[in-house]
Structure 1
Amino acid sequence: MADKEATVYVVDLGESMADCHNGRSESDLDWSMRYVWDKISTTVAANRKTWTVGVVGLNSDDTDNDQEREGLKGYDNISVTKNIGPVTMASLRELQAQIRPSGSAGGDAISAVVVALAMINEYTKKLKYNRRIILVTNGESAIDGDQIEEVAFQLNESNIELIVIGVDFDDADYGFKEEDKSSAKATNEKILGKLVNQCSNGVLGTMAQAVEELSIPRIKAVRPFKAYDGTLSLGDPAKYESAMSIHVERYFKTKRATAPSASNVVVRPDHGGGPSQSTQTLDEDVMMGGTEFSGVKQMRSYRVNDPDAPGGKKDVEFEELAKGYQYGRTVVPISESDFETTKLETKKSFTIIGFIPFTSYEPFLNLGEASVVVAQKHNEEAELGLSAFIHALHEVESYAVARYVQKDGAPPQILLLKPNPGLEDGFECLYDVPLPFAEDVRSYHFPPLDKVVTVTGNALTEHRLLPMDDLKQAMSDYVDAMDLSEFGADDEGNPAEYVQIDELYNPTIHRVNQAIRTRAVHPEESIAPPAEILLRFSHPPEKLVEKARADIESLVELADVKKVPEKAQGRRFKKNAVKPLSGLDIDALLGGPAGQSRRTTISPDNAIPEFRQMLQTAEDDTTTQSAFKQMANIIRDLIKTSFADVKYAQASENLGVLREEIEKLDMPEDYNKIIKALKRSILTGELDGDRRDMWTTHIVGRGLGLVTSEENPLSKVTEDEAEAFKKP
């Protein structure tokens, strides 16, 4: 079960909070609320009913609290803006409307803390809660420090953490000191500091540090999750007395974190819209941006061809369908009963099937998340047995390989068990990672890097494709110069690892969370750029690059690195052609002597090279269209004169080149006209008989159908139209 939390934010709304100080362009209140909104929106995103929030307004225009209603003095200009309870998007919107600077300065911060303390005690009773009060103020209004000891005692008795964050408060540890501070503010800082010091769990900080640390991602604390509770066996205890059986528990050690997923919503009917006929609204509603939305449930209908049914199709129930698997060009249906026979019937088990030496295992075989295996709690026999097994593995320097089935019917896994005898950390356990099955391993063979094997079998150690000694040394020097292992510095200034594992965050996850929090609090504002801490390790340090510049330049020179010209895309005619690195005139080499006229015809015997050459030398649309037409006619003639399917492959190869070149010229509609005419000729028998196999196998099978708008924005063909076009 998740921890219960009760947090009350005491926010100073006094008239002084509307002023801007220390060169800031936003008021003290807006600047402070950056921190408050970030914390509250994080609670909203967690969506836990046990994480409750309350808000108290200090120096508000009116007074609304239980202490004042009971006739107690000193609680003026303090209002309970939100009672403690779960916070939602709707309550967040209500809070935003109420957090505004007031015209008052008569509230007392210590009294506001007492109001928050009473709210927490009343809500949490004696139950187990993490209790917290966060006071945000600039310290300009008067504070009565006479009851500090009593208030601190009550906070300690209730086990409440007090966090005071002051706007422009002095903080020697952070390195901030406000110049020209008023005497009243300096006195209030001392009073609040004294209150925090007397609390057993108190923190006093400056708002500058709090706002700066908002960019640091917050790591989600995850409680241990028990994935398995049963026996770890070696042999079959039911058959052999010598078999080993230890009662163990398995917990996740690492777990893959993912970015928050999106949900589909639809405008509620009573807010100007309604669900379509293919959707159904759910009971849960959410308030976003002042508009009510509902979740969307997808509903599908299945139809089959039926000449006797209206429209030629009839609806069928999902239960009547069977899964079909493609076998060649035939679909083989398998019923649910037949499919059940393919499933492996398994029983919950954790069985050791072998051992391998440390030296025989390669780390790249690891698959997925690691877990930890420990003895069952309060079971001395299991603890002793597992400890002996762990130390035995450690002494013989071997891993255990086990077959693991989490529960009955679950697919089996092969796990590698690594012993941890607790010699360094005092924690005895087995760490495990999943291993691949034989079908999961793909072995690829690559040519050697240190030699070139010729066709005759000779091995050459000196070749133009092999690096010479000077190039190897230059690369080695460059790698050494870019070493990050000691580029960082520790607290004492000594060289240390540049990339610390606890400072390495997943940019995708935390960037999405940042965007969600920003949009939740400020629906109309643009999302700020990613925090620098997320981008810190996405590029090498500038100082290190500058330090290694000489090695980089030497490597570039020895490797003869040259920039590859960008490939021209979407050009109609050959204008400003890129000059080859060799300096040769390719047109002259391919087109004949200088001054010879451009190619205007395409020979069927050499269609592809001549087609491409004609397009490269085209100077107007007329020549381009002529090339398209000639190539299309050559394709049609190949199909028409083909004996059976002898020339089908050649025709489809020509068609593929035609499609590729037309796409490069951003003229998809020209290709779509050609392929439509070709399909009509094939299906109507114009090309000397039944040529349907050419269409289904060599055109549709190779993906040479219509060019869709997804492939090229200039196309007017949708994906649905392209799919329908494939049918003969």
Structure 2
Amino acid sequence: NLCNEYSPGNVLVSTALVLCLDVGFSMSNSAPGQETPFQLAKKVIQKFVQRQVFAENKDELALVLFGSDNTKNNLAKDGQYQNISVHRQLMIPNFELLEEIQNDVHPGSQQADWLDALVVCMDLLQNETLGKRYERQNIVLLTDLNTPSSPDQLDVIIGNLKRSGVTLQFFLPFPVDGGGSKPPDGGKGLSAEQQQGLEMTKQVMMSLDEDDGLEEVYTFSDAIEKLSVFKRVEKRPMAWPCTLTIGSSLAIKIVGYKAVSRVLCPEWKSWSVVDAQTHQKDDIKRDVVYCLNDDEETEVQKDDTIQGYRYGSDIVPFSKVDQDQMKYKTDGKSFAVLGFTKQSMVIYRHQFVGTQVLKVFAPKDDEHAGVALSGLIRALDDLKMVAVVRYVYARNGNPQVGAAFPCIKEKSECLVYVQLPFMEDLRQYSFPSLENNKKYTPSEEQLSAVDSLIDSMMLVEEDEDGEKMDLFKVNHIPNPQYQRLFQCLHHRAVNPSAPLPPMDPWLTAALQRPLAVASRCQAPLETMKKKFPLKEVVKKKELKTTVWEQVGLRSSCLATGRSTF
């Protein structure tokens, strides 16, 4: 759907989507100090389109406006389907569409039946997708339902939706069940038109899907919250087929997939250099010239240069042949078990290194490999042990040593591989003990104050049913650097000369401690201040400097006969 399935995480299918936006005059009504339904609906569309643009997928999108001052659609004949305008035909979204939404989509002064707009969207999909193949076709209606609608053709519309396989979603300023939310228009409640439209909406959605139909009806505020996060471009998971070996006589076919992999923001060096005036890449040409470090700066051809390794004040020449000979030579991929050890020996997660976590399964179509790998996984789990593995990704790749942990879930089981550090990766530090220094020995009151502070800031607590609940789910927090980058890229694309906006409030709030924790820790923090008073210490060197400056000033004044007072 618009909030989930159409996120850039699902770019493996091609989808035809029609955004149908109500721009009628009722969408501009709101209580003082509140955003109008039109403003909220426009935000939903903007955030969704910008996600699609950065996703770089093949989904196509069209935009239809109803309640507009003009009429532009193929069904507008004999006074029917008026004030409905196809603003954009079905095509891959781009920055041009974002600019049009921001600058050209405004509230209208007319009204139009949302059912008529739905029929126009169905006709657009039928014509635009003819001869093409799409995995899914979807229509998204954003409206306040505050227009008179005729239910005469409702059953026909539902039948056509079912036959064509077109899915439908609604985005409204109020929840479909009406519970737990303030009514629109400053608390006046739903109008008669809205009540009728809501019943018709329920009828349509329940007819299309009796069980989960109403789950496809969202509020504007929920959609904005879900669409605020920029999603990275997802790619099809790449399988890593290999053979797990234990000694020379036991081999099990396996397939590895990246379960955790660090996502890096685009590097500045990979950005294109364009002309500052024309913004065209073709107007810029860059040449790299190699020169000798002499007075004439004699030019040298690149083929006449080699790499050199700086070793102290000397440079050790290292040719391409040397680099090839230095590489680690392997016969190919490797996932060889070197031995086994207790999980407690490698459980210190701060000693894990690398940029990924690999999940290792048996191939789906290999029953023998599945049985063998399952036996190994369950044995490791029963004995609380891990396999120490030599891992080589590809031929001539650098070897790693890692630990393969057993992971057994309700519907699957696998090995989880994590790279372990080599000797050079570990940092060893030695510090003097605090226990032998009475000056730094805390009192019982101080220890109790610290314990209270830690207890108050615990991020795991139990709910009413006794189940443990995580208050700060790090895996649900988006990377602020990544989010900020694409927020600024989008803003600059549609506002070439305006200053960059501040960071979105929702992202700033996401990086703060949970409100429950913040309120709990106030009293312990005050106790900490009292039990650990801080005193400003003036450095002796600064104190001496100050004294000598005063003496020098006094001497100067005595010499000149001037008073310092």
Query: Hey, what does 2:303 align to over in structure 1?
Result: 319
- The Cα shift of 1:245 comes to 0.8
Identity rate, percent: 24
Query: Hey, what does 1:5 align to over in structure 2?
Result: 15
Q: Deviations over 1:605-651 (max 9, x none)?
A: xxxxxxxxxxxxxx9xxxxxxxxxxxxxxxxxxxxxxxxxxxxxxxx
The 1:520/1:136 distance shift into structure 2, 3 A limit, reads farther
- The Cα shift of 1:157 comes to 3.1
- The Cα shift of 1:542 comes to 6.1
The 1:171/1:507 distance shift into structure 2, 3 A limit, reads farther
Any residues of structure 2 matched to 1:625-704 within 5 Å, and which?
none
**Residues matched between the structures, number:** 534
Any residues of structure 2 matched to 1:513-592 within 5 Å, and which?
513-523=486-496, 529-536=502-509, 538-540=511-513, 544-545=517-518, 547-563=520-536, 580=538, 586=544
Q: Deviations over 1:667-710 (max 9, x none)?
A: xxxxxxxxxxxxxxxxxxxxxxxxxxxxxxxxxxxxxxxxxxxx
Any residues of structure 2 matched to 1:76-115 within 5 Å, and which?
76-105=82-111, 107-115=112-120
The 1:297/1:474 distance shift into structure 2, 3 A limit, reads farther
- The Cα shift of 1:550 comes to 4.3
CA contact (8 A) 2:47 2:224 kept: no
Secondary structure in 2 matching 1:257: coil
Which amino acid counterpart does residue 5 of structure 1 have in structure 2? Answer: T
Query: Hey, what does 2:451 align to over in structure 1?
Result: 476
- Bigger mean CA deviation after superposition, 132-141 or 79-88: 132-141
Secondary structure in 1 matching 2:146: coil
CA contact (8 A) 2:70 2:83 kept: yes
Distance 1:494 1:375 in 2: 33
Any residues of structure 2 matched to 1:484-503 within 5 Å, and which?
484-486=459-461, 496-501=469-474, 503=476
- The Cα shift of 1:467 comes to 2.5
Calculate the TM-score normalised by the size of structure 2: 0.83
Query: Hey, what does 1:448 align to over in structure 2?
Result: 433
Distance 1:233 1:595 in 2: 82
Which amino acid counterpart does residue 146 of structure 2 have in structure 1? Answer: E
Query: Hey, what does 2:440 align to over in structure 1?
Result: 465
Which of 31, 35, 44 is the matching residue for 2:44? 35
Is the counterpart of residue 437 in structure 1 residue 422 in structure 2? Answer: yes
CA contact (8 A) 2:329 2:396 kept: yes
Is the counterpart of residue 378 in structure 1 residue 365 in structure 2? Answer: yes
- The Cα shift of 1:117 comes to 2.1
Q: Deviations over 1:104-141 (max 9, x none)?
A: 32x33112212222333444457342322111223333
The 1:221/1:431 distance shift into structure 2, 3 A limit, reads farther
Unaligned runs of 5+ in 1: 237-242, 276-280, 283-293, 453-462, 565-579, 600-618, 620-728
- The Cα shift of 1:479 comes to 2.1
Distance 2:498 2:553 in 1: 62
Which of 209, 225, 249 is the matching residue for 2:255? 249
Secondary structure in 2 matching 1:251: strand
Distance 1:426 1:506 in 2: 30
- Bigger mean CA deviation after superposition, 507-516 or 525-534: 525-534
Secondary structure in 2 matching 1:300: coil
Query: Hey, what does 1:505 align to over in structure 2?
Result: 478
- The Cα shift of 1:539 comes to 3.9
Is the counterpart of residue 210 in structure 1 residue 223 in structure 2? Answer: yes
Distance 1:377 1:545 in 2: 48
Which amino acid counterpart does residue 61 of structure 1 have in structure 2? Answer: D
The 1:351/1:67 distance shift into structure 2, 3 A limit, reads same
Which amino acid counterpart does residue 232 of structure 1 have in structure 2? Answer: L
Secondary structure in 1 matching 2:41: helix
Distance 1:11 1:229 in 2: 48
- The Cα shift of 1:80 comes to 1.6
Distance 2:483 2:466 in 1: 30
Which amino acid counterpart does residue 452 of structure 2 have in structure 1? Answer: D
Distance 2:523 2:32 in 1: 43
Query: Hey, what does 2:313 align to over in structure 1?
Result: 329
Query: Hey, what does 2:555 align to over in structure 1?
Result: 597
Distance 2:412 2:429 in 1: 40
Secondary structure in 1 matching 2:439: coil
Is the counterpart of residue 194 in structure 1 residue 180 in structure 2? Answer: no
The 1:128/1:430 distance shift into structure 2, 3 A limit, reads farther
Which amino acid counterpart does residue 436 of structure 1 have in structure 2? Answer: P
Query: Hey, what does 1:353 align to over in structure 2?
Result: 338
Q: Deviations over 1:21-54 (max 9, x none)?
A: 2224665433321111111111111122x11110
Q: Deviations over 1:315-366 (max 9, x none)?
A: 2222211112222322222222222222212222221122211122232221
Distance 1:529 1:592 in 2: 48
Query: Hey, what does 2:244 align to over in structure 1?
Result: 232
- The Cα shift of 1:373 comes to 0.5
Which amino acid counterpart does residue 300 of structure 1 have in structure 2? Answer: V
CA contact (8 A) 1:588 1:594 kept: no
The 1:26/1:478 distance shift into structure 2, 3 A limit, reads closer
Q: Deviations over 1:453-474 (max 9, x none)?
A: xxxxxxxxxx213323443233
Any residues of structure 2 matched to 1:391-430 within 5 Å, and which?
391-420=378-407, 422=408, 424-430=409-415
CA contact (8 A) 1:413 1:434 kept: yes
Q: Deviations over 1:370-411 (max 9, x none)?
A: 111011121111111211222232233221111122211222
Which amino acid counterpart does residue 195 of structure 2 have in structure 1? Answer: A
Secondary structure in 2 matching 1:152: helix
- The Cα shift of 1:475 comes to 2.1
Unaligned runs of 5+ in 2: 1-10, 558-563
RMSD: 3.5
Q: Deviations over 1:519-550 (max 9, x none)?
A: 44455666554444433454445665554444
Q: Deviations over 1:250-284 (max 9, x none)?
A: 0011122334555334238xxx5488xxxxx35xx
The 1:117/1:586 distance shift into structure 2, 3 A limit, reads same
Which amino acid counterpart does residue 189 of structure 1 have in structure 2? Answer: L
Distance 1:431 1:224 in 2: 20
- The Cα shift of 1:247 comes to 1.0
Which amino acid counterpart does residue 252 of structure 1 have in structure 2? Answer: K
Distance 2:419 2:13 in 1: 31
Which amino acid counterpart does residue 371 of structure 1 have in structure 2? Answer: L
Secondary structure in 2 matching 1:226: coil
The 1:545/1:194 distance shift into structure 2, 3 A limit, reads closer
The 1:588/1:330 distance shift into structure 2, 3 A limit, reads closer
The 1:340/1:146 distance shift into structure 2, 3 A limit, reads same
Query: Hey, what does 2:61 align to over in structure 1?
Result: 53
Higher relative contact order (CA 8 A, sep 6+): 2
Calculate the TM-score normalised by the size of structure 1: 0.66
Distance 1:209 1:588 in 2: 62
CA contact (8 A) 1:489 1:498 kept: no
Secondary structure in 1 matching 2:446: helix
The 1:145/1:522 distance shift into structure 2, 3 A limit, reads farther
Say which one has the larger Rg: 1
Is the counterpart of residue 258 in structure 1 residue 264 in structure 2? Answer: yes
